[in-house]
């Protein structure tokens, strides 16, 4: 007697994308996400707050990665017996939004915004942040991320802003809000403070000129016999410099070159007496400089080819 198979026949060749679409269609038609919330109603809550994306640009691979984690943990907690409501949101604030609109309008700074009109500029920003919500919703559905897109919150709406102020007031009433000092980065171009996230978005490695300049001593026991070595990252100010100042207790050391010697205050080349807290020993006399050199800096003493690199905000 032939017994019927217990499972459906599985084809040898599987069209995985078509299979995914079939599952997504089943979820949508049967309202599986809504049913999972109804089924877990009344159970202990596991609260989930989504950090919403800004929809002024098209979604990218990094959005997929973040939304995978946002989906995995609520699903896991639901299977562990919790009720996990999930509401989507759209982030409508932040300097990147304003910078994108400035780029569209061809602006170069804050003065252009004020000339254009702050109200008009804000309206442009409001239109920009919701420009690609349809693309984000399509991506969310396609990757199987269960979240309520129909009742999504929007951070620029008064109801959301009031809820943030209410939360802050509750934190204050419970004595959990502390007043303190914080060093905040500042963008001189935009004329505003920057958050840590905004600062990280605008960093890049740049190359700026730096030069080493020798200044012959014109007074004291080593006048005409030694020179100070000065390093500066603003060589364009050398023309207006009139003096070199050094703290009298700053440790110094002297170095002899093949042609000349110089003396330089230094924190790196400390003499043993300076490390012990005693006044630094006087540098040994150096050979006299050759005639013809003056006290003014010149290209012969500087090294304009020496450069230094660091990171600087560009927002």
pTM of this prediction?
A: 0.60
Asked whether the CA dihedral 268, 272, 278, 283 is positive or negative, the reply is negative
The half-sphere exposure of 301 on its side-chain side, counting CA atoms within 13 A, is: 22
pLDDT per residue, tens digit, the chain (315 aa), is: 567 667 878 788 889 999 999 999 999 999 999 999 999 999 999 998 888 898 888 999 999 999 999 999 999 999 999 999 999 999 988 788 898 899 999 998 888 999 999 999 999 999 999 999 999 999 999 999 999 999 999 999 999 999 999 999 999 999 999 999 988 888 888 888 888 877 877 677 878 888 998 888 888 888 888 888 888 888 888 888 888 888 888 888 888 776 654 444 444 333 343 344 444 444 444 333 333 333 433 333 333 333 433 333 443
Q: What is the distance of C-alpha 233 from the center of its chain?
A: 24
**Which pLDDT does position 269 carry in this prediction?**
37
pLDDT for the residue 278: 45
The owner of tokens 């599986």 is 32
Residues 21, 7: Cα–Cα separation, whole Å: 21
Task: Identify the residue whose tokens are 């042609």.
Answer: 259
Ramachandran quadrant class, 56 (left: phi over 0; alpha: psi -120 to 50; beta: rest): alpha
The pLDDT assigned to 5 comes to 65
- HSE at residue 298, side-chain half, CA atoms within 13 A, is 7
Burial 17-55 (b: 16+ CB within 10 A, else e): eeeeeeeeeebeeeeebeebbeebeeeeebeeebebbbb
Q: So what's the pLDDT on residue 153?
A: 93
The pLDDT score that the predictor gives to residue 113 is 93
Straight-line distance from the first to the last Cα atom of the chain, in angstroms, rounded to the nearest whole number: 78
Nearest C-alpha neighbor of 126 from the set 160, 157, 89, 105: 157
């Amino acid at each position: 007697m032939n017994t019927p198979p217990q499972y459906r026949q599985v084809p040898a060749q599987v069209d995985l994308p078509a299979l995914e679409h079939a599952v997504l269609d089943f979820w949508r038609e049967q309202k599986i996400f809504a049913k999972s919330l109804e089924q877990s109603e009344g159970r202990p809550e596991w609260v989930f707050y989504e950090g919403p994306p800004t929809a002024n640009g098209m979604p990218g691979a990094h959005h997929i990665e973040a939304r995978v984690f946002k989906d995995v943990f609520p699903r896991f907690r639901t299977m562990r017996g919790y009720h996990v409501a999930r509401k989507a949101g759209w982030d409508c604030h932040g300097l990147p939004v304003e910078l994108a609109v400035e780029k569209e309008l061809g602006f170069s700074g804050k003065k252009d915004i004020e000339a254009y009109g702050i109200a008009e500029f804000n309206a442009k920003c409001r239109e920009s942040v919701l420009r690609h919500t349809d693309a984000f919703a399509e991506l969310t559905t396609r990757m199987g991320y269960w979240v309520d897109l129909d009742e999504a919150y929007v951070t620029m709406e008064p109801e959301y802003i009031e809820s943030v102020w209410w939360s802050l007031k509750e934190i204050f009433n419970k004595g959990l809000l502390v007043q303190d000092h914080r060093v905040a980065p500042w963008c001189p171009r935009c004329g505003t403070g920057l958050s840590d996230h905004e600062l990280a978005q605008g960093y890049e490695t740049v190359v700026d000129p730096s030069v080493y300049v020798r200044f012959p001593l014109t007074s004291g026991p080593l006048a005409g016999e030694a020179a100070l070595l000065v390093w500066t990252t603003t060589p364009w100010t050398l023309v207006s410099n009139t003096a070199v100042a050094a703290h009298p207790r700053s440790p110094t050391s002297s170095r002899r070159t093949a042609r000349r010697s110089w003396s330089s205050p230094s924190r790196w080349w400390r003499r043993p007496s300076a490390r012990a807290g005693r006044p630094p020993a006087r540098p040994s006399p150096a050979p006299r400089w050759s005639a013809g050199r003056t006290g003014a800096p010149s290209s012969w003493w500087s090294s304009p080819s020496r450069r230094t690199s660091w990171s600087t905000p560009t927002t």
